[in-house]
Structure 1
Amino acid sequence: MPFFFPAIIFYPLMFETLTQKLLASLRSIGSRTRLTEEIVDEVCRQLKTNLLDADVNVKVAKDFIDAVRRKSLGVEVQKSLSPEQHFIRIVYEELCSIMGGKATPLNFRVRPPAVIMVVGLQGSGKTTSVVKLARHIREVHKKSLLVASVDVYRPAAIEQLSTQIKNLGYDHFDSSIMEARPRAVLAKEEAIKQNAEVLLVDTAGRLHIDREMMAEIQDLASVFSPVEILLAVDAMTGQDAR
């Protein structure tokens, strides 16, 4: 389930190029007095090209363009809006729709600890996101938490997270065990022992084509029984997000 928490994770670089191209396409409507089928088809063609150039999934791009075209031609333009403004509003609404429609709050309505796992590719910003999310949970939701890492592959990954979490004054699960599953079991036991309301887990980066690593994350999920699994992404994820 997509999750967005305000003032913590931003994606300006991820969407900057795509945004510029989309705006350029929309400006081609200019000062037209009405949206004709010819104009809509031309702008939709440009939009689809821009989306595919940005590595958007072909089906997602097609469904998006089909919805924009259908709504543009099937709805009368409001008198208070220009054709350009009307079209931009439709594009905006459809973009919001394919990104989840609305922000989804974290689910804490479970028997503690509520386990939240952060997953993603190598170098996608998981550890940094975990630290920011930990602060969000403590300062906004006022929840007690334990932060743990089961990334036993990246050099100093556990130490990095431990240092940053302790600098914030939060609890970090420490153990000399360097095997993912045993660490997971002990981390959950420690969270229960501490009566932590939330157990926030950082995981190792992995590709979906790595069967061994994908089997590991499934095994870890069976240990933790997480209420949320959050995918940390950057602009290079592309269609691996599937």
Structure 2
Amino acid sequence: MFSQLTDSLENTLKNLRGQGKLTEENVAESLREVRRAFLAADVNFNVTRDFVKSVKEKSMGAEVLNSVTPGQQIVKIIHDELVAVMGGETKEINLSAPSPVGIMMVGLQGSGKTTFAGKIALWMRSKKKRKPLLVAADVYRPAAIKQLQVLGKSIGVPVYDEGQGNPVEIIKHGYQYAKDNGFDLVIYDTAGRLQIDEELMQELEKARDAVHPDEILFVADAMIGQEAVNVAETFWNRLNFTGVCLSKMDGDTRGGAALSIKKMTGVPICFIGVGEKLNEIDLFHPDRMASRILGMGDVVSLVEKAQQVIDEKDAKDLKKKILNNTFDLNDFLKQLRTIKKLGRIKDILSLIPGLNKLPLDQIDEKQLVYVEAVLSSMTPKERKKPQIIDGSRKARIAKGSGTDAARVNAVLKQYESMKEMFKKVGDFAKRQNNGGTIGSNYTPPKDKNKKKKR
């Protein structure tokens, strides 16, 4: 995500970070490079021009704090400007309206509307505890209704459809069905076209006027860059949509759409698609995205992802095992599966400052598959006591996992290295806590030499 823009900006700002003093000359030179980086990332020309102008004015007029270098100061200014360009604050869906809350998905054919409708339904059910209904109102694209039905079934969300009927009437009937059957959220999947036409716009206007949705979300393919902004402006002029969803953000190495669309339409981005799976959707946080663009990582998002998949009891059990040096291959397998729930390894590492500069595209996700296969081919007893795994057991494990003895040995070696590392962590924690436990529940030992109060 944004790798091309991130690399360009990092190279540009590297020289400024080491400057002892900001001058008009070195700021101007750096901003010329920033302008080139933005235009290469397919950012709208007017957005680029205003961005560079604003950064220049604030850089030359800023008082440099004693605790930072002038170079660090301009990086902060650029970060703040990126946040402002992308909307400033996170756009939340309005769920305070009378039930059922209506969300209408609009956009061109192929932008990802139907998939995004399913993603939002799943997100609303799992994160906001809503009871959503999907309405299949795309009666023109072949298999659009079937696609929504398959998506709905896979996430356990009902789909209302009337086959190849009148889309405006389907939307009206879908709203009434949701109201009569206790659904507190209804998401309308509308039809798109390969290009904007008057017939499409009139139909969407009629659908909007029929049910007055609380939110109209324009879905754009992030990978088409600035063209997404041009399409968005046309939809905005006719529909006054309330939010933007950018699909395929995980494949967008440039960032032109994300950096242009709020400035050009005045409407914030609310959701981004970060993968093909239905749970791979994130709220769009301008401040976190600015940090990612500048190569600073996004630890807050990583922590939020971890909180969703890590069970508190499991975390406490793991802590005890680290302290007592009883971490076994069953625990290794459990942690591996937890990591897989977080997402792709390269996506996780990209959120960690420093590690996001590694050649993440070279990471082979298949290695985790092999490790899990080897561990799954062991018996619970073997995972509990790996020391009993002899040559014949290794041969059986290799055959069961579809690998070879060398792979089994490599996994056992990885485990021993991890166990040794955890032993050192546990020993250090015990020394620090004088035999207590790690965490906020720890109470330091009393000072025996401290005089008692009389």
TM-score by length of 2: 0.48
Pairing 1:168–2:155 present: yes
Superposition map of 1:222-241 within 5 A:
222-233=209-220, 234-238=222-226, 239-240=229-230, 241=232
| Structure 2 residue 47 is the aligned partner of structure 1 residue 60 | yes
Deviation at 1:62, TM superposition (A): 1.6
Partner residue in 1 for 2:85: 98
CA distance in structure 1 between the partners assigned to 2:194 and 2:6 by the alignment = 28
> What secondary structure sits across from 1:148 in the alignment?
strand
2:139–2:164: 8 Å Cα contact kept in structure 1? no
Q: Distance in 2 between matches of 1:232 and 1:191?
A: 23
Shift of residue 195, structure 1, vs aligned partner: 2.5
Describe how 1:47-196 pairs up with structure 2 within 5 A: 47-196=34-183
Instruction: Write the distance in 2 (CA, Å) between the matches of 1:208 and 1:79.
Output: 55
- What one-letter code is carried by the residue in structure 2 that aligns with 1:191? A
- Structure 1 gap ranges (5+): 1-11
CA shift digits 1:78-109 (9 cap, x unpaired): 22222222111111111111111111211011
State the SS of the aligned residue for 1:84. Answer: helix
What does the per-residue CA deviation read over 1:187-240, in whole Å, with 9 as the maximum and x for residues that have no partner? 112111113111111222346742221222222211221111122222204232
SS at match of 2:224: coil
CA distance in 1, matches of 2:86, 2:193: 23
Q: Which of 205, 209, 216 is the equivalent residue of 2:203?
A: 216
Task: Note if contact 2:103-2:215 (Cα within 8 Å) is conserved in structure 1.
Answer: yes
Partners of 2:190 and 2:14 in 1: CA distance? 43
Candidates 12, 16, 20, aligned match of 2:3: 16
For 2:23 and 2:102, the matched residues in 1 are separated by 52
Letter in 2 for 1:103: T
Instruction: Give the number of the structure with larger relative contact order, counting CA–CA contacts within 8 Å between residues 6 or more apart.
Output: 1
Identify unmatched segments of 5+ residues in structure 2. 234-454
Structure 2 CA distance, aligned partners of 1:188 and 1:182?
10
- For the 8 Å contact 1:206–1:214, the answer to whether it is kept is no
Q: How many residues align?
A: 229
Moved more, 49-58 or 193-202: 49-58
Distance (whole Å) between structure 1 residues aligned to residue 72 and residue 217 of structure 2: 35
1:48–1:65 contact (8 Å) kept in structure 2:
yes
Distance 1:18 1:211, change over 3 A: farther
> Normalization by structure 1: what TM-score?
0.87
Rounded to whole Å, the distance in 2 between the matches of 1:170 and 1:107 is 20
Counterparts of 1:121 and 1:50, CA distance in 2:
28
Deviations 1:42-71 (A, max 9, x none): 111221222223222222112211111111
Q: Quick one: structure 1 residues 20 and 178, their matched pair in 2 at CA, closer, same or farther if it must change by over 3 Å?
A: farther
Amino acid at match of 2:207: L
The Cα shift of 1:74 comes to 0.8
**Structure 1 range deviating more: 64-73 or 123-132:** 123-132
Select the structure that is richer in helix.
2
- Tell me: CA distance 1:127–1:112, structure 2 relative to 1, closer, same or farther (3 Å): same
Post-superposition shift, 1:163? 1.1
Letter in 1 for 2:70: P
Larger radius of gyration: 2
**d(CA) in 1 for partners of 2:208, 2:96:** 18
Deviation at 1:131, TM superposition (A): 1.3
Q: Secondary structure at the match of 1:29?
A: helix
User: What's the RMSD between the two structures over aligned residues?
Assistant: 1.8
Offset of 1:130 from its aligned partner?
Answer: 1.5
Partner of 1:37: 24
CA 1:59/1:223 → structure 2, altered by over 3 Å: closer, same or farther?
same
